[in-house]
Amino acid sequence: MASGDNSSNNIQQPPLPPLIGPNNSFGSKNFFSHPPPPPSFNNSNNTPSYMAHIQQYAQNQMQKQLNSSPNNNSGSFFHSNFNQAPNSLFNKPIRFNINKQGVKVNPMMRQAQQNHNNMPFMNQNFQNTNAKKRKNKKKNKNKNNNANNNNNNSNNNDNGFNTSFSSPPHPPLPPIMFTKPPPPIPSSPTTSTASSNNSLSQELLSPPPAIENTSNITTQKDTKNEESSVVSSTSSSSIEKPAMEWPESLYNYVARCYMKCTTPLDKDMCEITLKGKITMAANRNELFTKDWDNEPMPILHSDRLLQQQQQQKPPTNNLFNKNKNVVTGTLAQYQNSSPNLKKATTKKRRTSSSSRSRSRSLSPPRKRMGSEDDKYGNSKTSSKNSKKKAKKEKQSAFYSKFGAAGMGGAVDSLDTERLKKRADRFNTKSSVKSHMNSNSLTTSTFNKKRLSMPSYFVDDTVDEDIDLMDLHIVGSCRDLEKSFLRLTKAPDASEVRPKEVLIYSLTNVKNKWVEKQDYFYACDQLKSIRQDLTVQGIRDEFTVKVYETHARIAIEKGDHEEFNQCQTQLKMLYNEIGGENQLEFLAYRIIYYIFTKNTLDISSVLKTLTNEERENECISHALKLRSAWALCNYSRFFQLYKQSPKMTGYIVDWFIERERKLALKNWIIKVYRPNISSDFIKNTLAFNDLITCLEWLISLNVTFVSDDKQIVDCKTSMNAMAAL
């Protein structure tokens, strides 16, 4: 790094066909772990606060949104992004969604935006990626900006390249975006040129100077740059200042392309196509005007496999198909591209760029504020949000930990690996399928089986992991309320609410529940919240809270099916993360088992109870209740019922009728002679008042001695009891 910082010119490293050797990955680590030394505008230092601000901003926005009109944003306008890369279908929406926080876009605009939106997205993308992959992204951005500044003077691309060529290989600077993923090792620029026709393409393909320059910038630029960089960032996007480097969008595009490559074959194909595309663009001076975000990805070998897979996935399928015709064109398409089209794109470009600069202007100042001084100035807001922030970070950590694909930022190596595995899986799927159909094993010949057998096993494990992980999308839906609908397909991010929204949703449901006691509504809402949580793989305190809430409401309303679902989930959640109400719900579970007469499960619960747990108010009550129930000690049972702590009484209510009948039959009518007072029945069977008790007795055809119904004739009532 240090060497790279010294001179502005020498750094040339092809960012795009990133030269990655073992050194590189090492270098990348270094690069990020050691921020460039002060006094320069310290990017890495800035980033956290900057990011924090973005998050804050996003959250503020979100709150505003929620406050103002929760339902406004439901429209999903990200779809256009899907077309970028087939393999990023899962990743992209996620990323965008995240970024999207706080950016309101009217769904109606979607049509109009078709072309425009790419830029804003790009922009957002940037923010997001920053948010998620702070270090990497941040650098990248700055670098790019800086690069633009530096190169403002030199309009000639060739210069940059020449220098790069001439300079001895430096410790390779990892292309920022791809730091992690060992990108395909592209043939060195020279070799690649051999394959391509013209020298221009060669140069273009060779590392674009931008990234190398960044290193210069970081060192060279001092505090002044802070401002200038911001300026440049806004200005760079506009066309008036033609920077000779590649535009960010192109970087991203190339990066995306390489991300896509999973096999050497892919790499070669990708390289060739890119060369063609970029050369073409450069020849036509479209390098900056071209809408790289919308640029179709080259079709690679592995794409075809993916394509097959896509066809099995209805939601994504459409998007893919939409682009299909475009995509198929690849190289030829460029040669054919008409000037009209070009113009159109440039036009669009302009508008979009302006919007971009606007959005830029929003965030970069914040970023500056995020630098240490301002941070304190803003402490009010930041402290407010700090908690949320922390949560968010946790969440993202969760995702990165579990490798949820592309939670913002570029696809990292893990993801590519996974994608590759995934592709492989689909390769073998057909053969595996036959194995899965347990009985069909016989059909395949032994050889075939034998070959696929090992892979079957490997795949199986991978399968489990990946499928689960892939489901962990991050939602983008802003709706406060959403009806539950059983998923019949892979969830669409635009229909899934992220956790921040769900928190509000939960409060909303709670409030409405308190107000109106509309169980149907509450159940529906809570189920959809649960679904969103499941789909996004969120399992934390909040999830516990949601399930507890639903369980409580279900208990109150006697919906034992929902309660059972909740308590099953809670059992697992408590095991994973614990919870303060654990014992309370354990007690509910015990009583629920009494309700279902599941003595086996009761025994297994008893097995696990510790002595301290037995002393808990709810648990000890539940255990006493169970014991009384098991021994048919109705008297004690109903006494305990009267003193039920917390919500246990509600669950007992579910089967109190059953027990009352048993008690009446086996205890009272069978045993007392000649008669018994209704008052006694009322008291022992824990009725609230005599009238309900009498009604109940009459409904059971119990005979009374006299018309005032004060005394039950036990002997004649025996017949009625037999019917119970």
Partner 1 sequence: MEFLQILFSIKYTDIRYILIHKMNLFQYLTTIERFWNNGEGTALARLINISGSHASNKSLHVENCESMIERHLEPPVDEVINTHLKTLYYLHETPPNYGDAYKCQMACVQAVVKLLEAIKEENWCLPIMYVTCLDLRLLALKCENTQQVAKRGHFMEKAAECLMLCFRVCTADNRTDERDTKRLGMLHLVNQMFKVYFRINKLHLCKPLILAIDRLPFKESFPLAQQITYKYFVGRKAMYDSDYKLSDEYLSFAFNHCLTKFWKNKRLILIYLVPVKMLLGHMPRKETMEKFKVPQFYELANALKQGNIRQFDDVMQKYEAFFIDTGIYIIVEKLKIIAYRNLFKKVYLILQTHQIDLQHFFTALQFVGEEDITMDETHCIVANLIAERKIKGYISYQHNKLVVSKKENPFPNLNIQEFYELTLLDESKSVQQKTAETLLIASKWEQENSIKMTDTNDFRGTNLPLTQAFMNLKEQQQQQQDQTDNQNRLKHDDEKKVENTQVNAERQQKSETPINKVFLIT
* Contact positions vs partner 1 (CB under 8 A): 438-439, 441-442, 445-447, 449-451, 453-454, 456-457, 460, 572, 575-576, 599-604, 606-607, 627, 630-636, 639, 666-668, 670-674, 676-677, 680, 684
> CA torsion, points 485, 486, 492, 498, in degrees to nearest 10?
70
What is the DSSP-derived secondary structure letter of residue 687?
A: -
**Residue 486: left (phi > 0), alpha (psi -120 to 50), or beta?**
beta
CB of 438 to partner 1, least distance (A): 6
In whole angstroms, give the CA distance from residue 145 to residue 136. Answer: 14
Which residues pair with residue 676 across a beta bridge? 712
Residues near 403 by beta carbon (within 8 Å), at least 6 away in sequence: 414, 415, 418, 469
φ/ψ (deg, to 5) at 498 = -70, 170
CB of 250 to partner 1, least distance (A): 45
CB of 684 to partner 1, least distance (A): 6
Question: 644-666: buried (b, 16+ CB within 10 Å) or exposed (e) per residue?
Answer: bebbbbbbbebbbeebbeebbbe
Residue keyed to tokens 């109150």: 556
Q: Which two tokens mark 470?
A: 């892939």
CB of 532 to partner 1, least distance (A): 22
CB-based contact 289:239 (threshold 8 Å): yes
* C-alpha radius of gyration, the chain, whole number: 33
Q: Name which of 96 and 574 has its Cβ closer to partner 1.
A: 574
Residue 409: closest CA among 70, 91, 11:
91
Residues near 653 by beta carbon (within 8 Å), at least 6 away in sequence: 558
What is the DSSP-derived secondary structure letter of residue 332?
A: H
| Per-residue CA distances from 91 to 296, 344, 392 (Å) | 16, 29, 18
Q: Name which of 109 and 468 has its Cβ closer to partner 1.
A: 468
Q: Which two tokens mark 281?
A: 């663009």
**Residue 40: left (phi > 0), alpha (psi -120 to 50), or beta?**
beta
Q: Name which of 501 and 676 has its Cβ closer to partner 1.
A: 676
What is the DSSP-derived secondary structure letter of residue 665?
A: I
CB of 563 to partner 1, least distance (A): 19
* Helix boundaries (H) for 22-156: 22-33, 43-68, 79-82, 91-100, 110-116, 118-132, 134-151
Q: Name which of 177 and 622 has its Cβ closer to partner 1.
A: 622
Q: Name which of 398 and 672 has its Cβ closer to partner 1.
A: 672
CB of 105 to partner 1, least distance (A): 40
Please report which helix (H) or strand (E) contains residue 34, including its range: none
- Is residue 509 packed enough to be buried (19+ CB in 10 Å), middle (13-18) or exposed (0-12)? buried
CB-based contact 614:622 (threshold 8 Å): no
Residues near 248 by beta carbon (within 8 Å), at least 6 away in sequence: 122, 126, 141, 144
Instruction: Classify strands 675-677 and 711-713 as parallel, antiparallel or unpaired.
Output: antiparallel
Residues near 182 by beta carbon (within 8 Å), at least 6 away in sequence: 20, 25, 413
Q: Name which of 2 and 436 has its Cβ closer to partner 1.
A: 436
Q: Name which of 67 and 445 has its Cβ closer to partner 1.
A: 445
137: helix, coil or strand?
helix
Q: Name which of 387 and 607 has its Cβ closer to partner 1.
A: 607
Q: Name which of 278 and 686 has its Cβ closer to partner 1.
A: 686
CB of 575 to partner 1, least distance (A): 6
Q: Which two tokens mark 681?
A: 């029945």
In whole angstroms, give the CA distance from residue 82 to residue 86. Answer: 7
Please report which helix (H) or strand (E) contains residue 485, including its range: none
Q: Name which of 630 and 698 has its Cβ closer to partner 1.
A: 630
CB of 470 to partner 1, least distance (A): 19
Q: Name which of 334 and 456 has its Cβ closer to partner 1.
A: 456
CB-based contact 346:289 (threshold 8 Å): yes
CB of 440 to partner 1, least distance (A): 10
CB of 213 to partner 1, least distance (A): 49
Residues near 352 by beta carbon (within 8 Å), at least 6 away in sequence: 115, 116, 117, 118, 119, 120
> CA torsion, points 504, 507, 511, 514, in degrees to nearest 10?
160
CB of 526 to partner 1, least distance (A): 24
Please report which helix (H) or strand (E) contains residue 677, including its range: strand 675-677
CB of 425 to partner 1, least distance (A): 16
CB of 435 to partner 1, least distance (A): 8
CB of 446 to partner 1, least distance (A): 5
Beta-carbon-side half-sphere exposure of residue 199 (alpha carbons within 13 Å): 4
Q: Name which of 331 and 720 has its Cβ closer to partner 1.
A: 720
CB of 70 to partner 1, least distance (A): 36
Q: Name which of 111 and 439 has its Cβ closer to partner 1.
A: 439
CB of 620 to partner 1, least distance (A): 14
Q: Name which of 555 and 602 has its Cβ closer to partner 1.
A: 602
CB-based contact 206:165 (threshold 8 Å): yes
Q: Name which of 540 and 601 has its Cβ closer to partner 1.
A: 601
Q: Name which of 105 and 694 has its Cβ closer to partner 1.
A: 694
In whole angstroms, give the CA distance from residue 622 to residue 588. Answer: 8
Q: Name which of 284 and 636 has its Cβ closer to partner 1.
A: 636
Q: Which two tokens mark 218?
A: 């970081």
CB of 600 to partner 1, least distance (A): 5
